[in-house]
């Protein structure tokens, strides 16, 4: 990597000029760029940009027990957060109850422990869901279970679940590529994700049933091009499977999001968000021929890159996060999370979470960025990089198609091999000093304290959560639980959509682990290297 390349290796010209875009085959720049709100949505999906509605401030939060997390969510909402993004602990994400032997030591650590509907009742107690602009979660392998919990909670509270703006991440394929919180083999996991998409399309049309997730792919070490290409390859797999079920692309695509990393290589990141919309718009048009133009209008949830944060000189992370947030805003994202400066150490402290929230509020209220749509549109540098990234992503998608598509690339290890290579090359660049990181390989000060005040969960969290779980099992009607799980087992085995049976099981207070275990019986588990 030279000093004059972007993080992903695109050359930065000494001076970008009209010849820069012409050399990329762009004859009429104004026509190529287009206008906001029109395909291929280079300049954003809304003609008014942020004037009509600013981006959703969606800080990601959750730890400990449901009442611990409820307090943090309330604090963020009171301070101006406009969306909820709920972090689940690893046992919950992987379908284990808190008293499972594999959950030991992990309960409530990197998110909130949710074992049953009783925890959801506590987690969202006193929060007016119908007035929050968006509610998201890390449910991927357990997408149908999360859907069921929100539906039943809505029933209890007496409001139409369809009136709540729910975004279910539900992108299990990226788990096999980048994150490993999968449960079942890839093919049945894809089926369960599409069960969720189908149920939402038919019964909860206002919900977002999928957020194609590139963030974790980027955090694993990918380039910007791999982030988009691998993400959209997964998106094709979901869309193809949903269409094969009899859905039209217009039944679900207008509500899809993609979840992307926002880094502080500012020009490349802005161009990446713009290229993402161009690629997806054309992919949907060419592959699925939608009747609704909104089917190709990609909504973006940007999350500032945690892998860019350092333990050395941690206060510098505030600058990194601000630049990452700026790239997302200049790239016209719809939802934004800003990381806290102390996340290189663990769950954010209250003070750090407040500062991260304030970063978004300053950008929204003090910079005038919401005054005009796509302010960098037409820049020779930005449009050149946007074109470069779009072309490279298209080439990568063709290579994935040649391999047989996303499922084949998961099963034959093609995705992982390329991510491993990219991550290794990036780490070598840091170690050699070729990629400069302040406080790590340049401008070091070995006298700097490595650690700020670090958040720690209550050591009693695990025992308290297990006691609550036992209490739920003791007071529920076990006959209702067994009947619901029996229906779930039958539907999973016969190929029926499992969501209705999952809703029934959640309503009976079956636990996340019990529901996941029934599906493990039918589909098996997927091994880990």
Chain segment 376-399, per-residue pLDDT in tens = 999 999 999 999 999 999 999 999
Mean per-residue pLDDT for 418-443?
A: 93
Compute the distance between CA of residue 264 and CA of residue 273 in angstroms, rounded to an integer.
13
Q: Return the bridge partners of 438, or none.
A: 442
Yes or no: say if 38 and 55 are a contact pair by the CB < 8 Å rule. Answer: no
More confident position, 219 or 527: 219
Compute the distance between CA of residue 425 and CA of residue 422 in angstroms, rounded to an integer.
5
DSSP state of 179: I
End-to-end alpha carbon distance in the chain: 31
More confident position, 528 or 29: 29
Check residue 400 and give its pLDDT. 98
In this prediction, residue 80 has a pLDDT band, given cuts at 50, 70 and 90, of confident
Check residue 447 and give its pLDDT. 66
Check residue 148 and give its pLDDT. 96
Check residue 2 and give its pLDDT. 55
Mean per-residue pLDDT for 437-457?
A: 77
Phi-psi region of 235 (alpha: psi -120 to 50; beta: other; left: phi over 0): alpha
Proportion of the chain above pLDDT 90, given as a percent: 81
CA-closest candidate to residue 166, choices 191, 186, 146:
146
In this prediction, residue 13 has a pLDDT band, given cuts at 50, 70 and 90, of very high
Check residue 90 and give its pLDDT. 94
- Give this prediction's pTM: 0.94
Yes or no: say if 108 and 457 are a contact pair by the CB < 8 Å rule. Answer: yes
| Concatenated DSSP letters of 62-108 | --BSHHHHHHHHHHHHHTT--EEEEPBPHHHHTT--TTSGGGTTTTT
Q: Which two tokens stand for residue 350?
A: 């209250």
> Which contiguous run of DSSP H or E holds residue 363?
helix 350-366
Residue 1: pLDDT over 50: no
Compute the distance between CA of residue 366 and CA of residue 389 in angstroms, rounded to an integer.
31
CA dihedral 249, 255, 261, 267 (to 10 degrees): 80
Find the range with the poorest average confidence among 68-72, 252-256, 357-361. Answer: 68-72
More confident position, 76 or 383: 383
Compute the distance between CA of residue 217 and CA of residue 221 in angstroms, rounded to an integer.
7
Q: How far is CA 200 from CA 111, 172, 203, 291, 500, in A?
A: 25, 17, 5, 20, 11
Check residue 529 and give its pLDDT. 39
Q: Which two tokens stand for residue 509?
A: 């207070």
Q: What is the mean pLDDT of the chain?
A: 93
- Residue 460: half-sphere exposure toward Cβ, Cα within 13 Å: 4
The domains of the chain, with CATH numbers, are 18-432 (3.20.20.240)
DSSP state of 342: T
Chain segment 93-129, per-residue pLDDT in tens = 999 999 999 999 999 988 899 999 999 999 999 888 7
Q: Which two tokens stand for residue 257?
A: 């999001």
Find the range with the poorest average confidence among 115-119, 276-280, 291-295, 428-432. Answer: 428-432
Proportion of the chain above pLDDT 70, given as a percent: 97
With tokens 């070091």, the residue in question is 444
Render the burial of 334-355: b for 16+ CB within 10 Å, e for the rest. bbbbbbbbbbbbebbbeebbbb
More confident position, 273 or 127: 273
Chain segment 198-215, per-residue pLDDT in tens = 999 999 999 999 999 999
Chain segment 480-529, per-residue pLDDT in tens = 999 999 999 999 999 999 999 999 999 999 999 999 999 999 999 997 53
Check residue 134 and give its pLDDT. 82
DSSP-derived 3-state class of residue 321: helix
CA-closest candidate to residue 94, choices 62, 44, 139, 158:
139
Check residue 450 and give its pLDDT. 60
Check residue 448 and give its pLDDT. 59
Yes or no: say if 260 and 252 are a contact pair by the CB < 8 Å rule. Answer: no
């Amino acid at each position: 990597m030279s000093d004059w390349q972007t993080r992903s290796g695109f050359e930065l010209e000494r001076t970008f000029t009209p010849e820069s875009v012409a050399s990329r085959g762009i004859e009429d720049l104004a026509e190529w760029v287009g206008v906001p709100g029109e395909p291929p949505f280079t300049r954003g999906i809304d003609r008014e940009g942020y004037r009509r509605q600013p981006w959703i401030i969606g800080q990601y939060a959750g730890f400990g027990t449901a009442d611990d997390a409820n307090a943090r969510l309330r604090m963020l909402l009171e301070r101006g957060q406009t969306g909820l993004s709920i972090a689940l602990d690893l046992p919950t994400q992987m379908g284990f109850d808190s008293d499972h032997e594999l959950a030991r030591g992990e309960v409530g650590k990197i998110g909130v422990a949710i074992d049953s509907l009783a925890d959801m009742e506590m987690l969202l107690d006193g929060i007016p869901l119908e007035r929050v602009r968006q509610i998201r979660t890390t449910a991927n392998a357990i997408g149908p279970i999360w859907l069921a919990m929100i539906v039943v909670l809505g029933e209890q509270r007496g409001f139409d679940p369809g009136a709540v703006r729910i975004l279910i991440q539900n992108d299990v394929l990226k788990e096999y590529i980048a994150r490993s919180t999968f449960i079942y083999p890839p093919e049945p996991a894809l089926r369960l994700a599409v069960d969720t998409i189908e149920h939402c399309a038919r019964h909860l049309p206002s919900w977002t049933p999928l957020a194609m997730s590139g963030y974790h792919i980027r955090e694993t070490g990918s380039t910007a091009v791999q982030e988009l290409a691998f993400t959209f390859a997964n998106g094709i797999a979901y869309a193809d499977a949903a269409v094969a079920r009899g859905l039209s692309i217009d039944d679900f695509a207008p509500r899809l999001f993609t979840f992307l990393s926002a880094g502080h290589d500012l020009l490349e990141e802005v161009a990446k968000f713009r290229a993402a919309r161009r690629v997806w718009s054309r992919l949907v048009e060419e592959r699925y021929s939608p009747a609704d133009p909104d089917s190709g209008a990609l909504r973006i949830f940007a999350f500032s890159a945690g892998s860019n944060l350092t333990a050395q000189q941690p206060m510098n992370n505030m600058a990194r996060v601000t630049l990452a947030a700026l790239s997302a805003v200049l790239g016209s994202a719809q939802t934004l999370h800003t990381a806290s400066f102390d996340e290189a150490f663990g769950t954010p402290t209250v003070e750090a979470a407040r500062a991260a929230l304030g970063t978004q509020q300053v950008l929204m209220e003090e910079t005038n960025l919401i005054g005009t749509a796509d302010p960098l549109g037409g820049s020779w540098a930005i449009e050149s990089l946007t074109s470069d990234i779009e072309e490279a992503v298209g080439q990568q998608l063709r290579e994935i198609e040649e391999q047989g598509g996303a499922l084949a690339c998961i099963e034959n290890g093609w995705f992982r091999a390329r991510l491993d290579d990219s991550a290794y090359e990036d780490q070598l660049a840091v170690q050699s000093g070729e990629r400069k990181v302040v406080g790590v390989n340049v401008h070091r000060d070995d006298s700097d304290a490595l650690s700020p005040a670090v958040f720690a969960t209550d050591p009693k969290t695990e025992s308290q959560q297990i006691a609550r779980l036992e209490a739920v099992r003791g007071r529920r009607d076990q006959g209702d639980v067994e009947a619901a799980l029996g229906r779930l087992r039958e539907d999973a085995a016969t190929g029926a959509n499992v969501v209705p049976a999952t809703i029934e099981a959640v309503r009976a207070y079956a636990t996340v682990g019990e529901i996941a275990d029934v599906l493990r019986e039918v589909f098996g588990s997927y091994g880990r290297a």
